[in-house]
Amino acid sequence: MTIQAELEAILTCLESIGQPLSVGALQNHLAVDMPKKTLQRRLKKLVEHGQVIADGEKKARTYRLASYGISSSATERSVTESLALNEKGNEYNQHPIFSAESLAQLTYLNTPPYGRTKSTYQRQLVEQYTPNKTFYVPLSVRTKLHTMGKRVDKALAAGTYAKEIGQKLLIDLSYNSSRLEGNTYSKLDTQKLIEQGVSAEGKVHEETVMIMNHKEAIEFLIENAEDITLSSFTVRNIHYLLSQDLLANPNACGKERELEVTIGKSAYTPLSNPHQIKEVLARVLLKAEQISDPFEQSFFLLVHLSYLQAFEDVNKRTARLTCNIPFIKGNLCPLSFTDVPQEDYFKALLYFYETNEVQPALELFEWAYKKSCEQYDVVKESLGDIDAYRIKYRAARKEAMGLVIRNDISGAKISAFLSRYCHDNQIEQPDKFIAMTIADLEQLHEGAIIGLGITEAMFKAWKRR
């Protein structure tokens, strides 16, 4: 039996039983013979892919489908008792993400697309939204998430916290965002790819490129946190970095689409007029930029960029990274979409596309942010390790880098130029400044030139020297 067949057998068994199962109980219920160690390896893989959720520790650990959960009282009952209660009609099952009301709303999607009401893009959703007066995220939720997501007690430069957890954020967000697109890289393989450049065996090239694109795009957000604004320029740069070498039409990377697109398994049809797409994207981002609350701003970006489908492809990935800008700039816990089940994620978005109702998407957003906070539940005092020198001279460093590139300085001449720059600008510890700036220049790429006062053409010309 193939590994894929074994994985499908496990998922089928969990779905048919409908209750969390221990490894032993699952082994007994499986329709195929599978050694315990093999079963444990397959379950680990399903957990990594977000298809199965593990609850409890060691011998008390049970496994359930990611799309379903149960109340704490039910976890204390045996499978036999649980099934018996079901036969009596007692309802104790609860979805881990959605409320009963949202679950009832989502049953709308059980009807095939051809049987649902056809819908098109509704511009009034943006036009009637008034920043800081209209709210998708209730005050109680905003307050709660802000308390959970706060990571620093003092004013620090934008992006400071994201830099502190940079490597972990690169891995978590790259892995989870790619997983939601069907990428089969495990988290461990994602880590190896990001940290060592080692591709996993047996993966298609597109999966590797998808993860590396995420890495570049997230680095772009972190490095340029102080200068980034919610503009078409920013979103197009994010899209370019995420979509490079993945689209059939390379010219479509970082550019609003000029052709019609459809949404699979949906009765929703996005805008098709290229002029309107550019106009509405600019309008969405103008409204978003005016929103003062980071959680309202993030959720607004997540749903509206996904809904607009401004690009030929890679729209949801662009939305997931863009919605992190408020958190990165505000030194809040980022949203890494940890453990978010793929099916629930797409159902919530699809329901918003077709009905313009936000409740399921909002509940998923709230749940996902709580999960991310647990993932990054680090001691605030660890920020005391931040290099104060690097922060103090960030603006000067960027100015110097821009001058190097604009003046087309390369090779050994860079060090001499920076030495003069340090003297003219009274930079303390010039050797440290020079080493830091040269290292930044070596790592510089097209997606990280915001704030340097240079154009992409200038950078490419300098890079070719």
Binding residues for ATP: 313-320
- Vertex 178 angle, CA 214 and 285, to 5°: 60
Count CB neighbours of 407 within 10 A.
12
Q: Which two tokens stand for residue 213?
A: 């694109």
SS3 category, 65: strand
Q: Tell me the one-letter amino acid at 82.
A: S
Count CB neighbours of 243 within 10 A.
26
Question: Rounded to an integer, what distance in angstroms lies between the CA atom of residue 274 and that of residue 281?
Answer: 11
Closest by Cα among 157, 199, 219, 134 to 383: 157
Please measure the distance between the N-terminal and C-terminal CA atoms of the chain and give it in whole angstroms. 55
Mode of pairing for the β-strands spanning 93-94 and 69-70? antiparallel
Q: Tell me the one-letter amino acid at 41.
A: R
Question: Rounded to an integer, what distance in angstroms lies between the CA atom of residue 225 and that of residue 158?
Answer: 6
**Strand pairing partners for 358?**
none
Question: Rounded to an integer, what distance in angstroms lies between the CA atom of residue 64 and that of residue 43?
Answer: 10
Identify whether the C-beta of residue 176 lies closer than 8 Å to the C-beta of residue 229.
no
Count CB neighbours of 412 within 10 A.
8
The H or E element containing residue 377 is none
Question: Rounded to an integer, what distance in angstroms lies between the CA atom of residue 258 and that of residue 252?
Answer: 9
Q: Which two tokens stand for residue 22?
A: 């221990």
Question: Rounded to an integer, what distance in angstroms lies between the CA atom of residue 276 and that of residue 192?
Answer: 42
Radius of gyration (Cα) for the chain, nearest Å?
24
Reduced DSSP (H G I as helix, E B as strand, rest coil) percent helix, strand, coil of the chain, to 5: 60, 5, 35
Q: Which residues in 150-186 are b (16+ Cβ under 10 Å) and which e?
A: ebbeeebbbbbbbbbbeeebbbbbbbbbbbbeebebb
Question: Rounded to an integer, what distance in angstroms lies between the CA atom of residue 213 and that of residue 245?
Answer: 9
Residue stretches of the annotated binding site = 313-320
For residue 107, CA distances in Å to 117, 186, 263 come to: 14, 31, 19
Mode of pairing for the β-strands spanning 52-55 and 69-70? unpaired
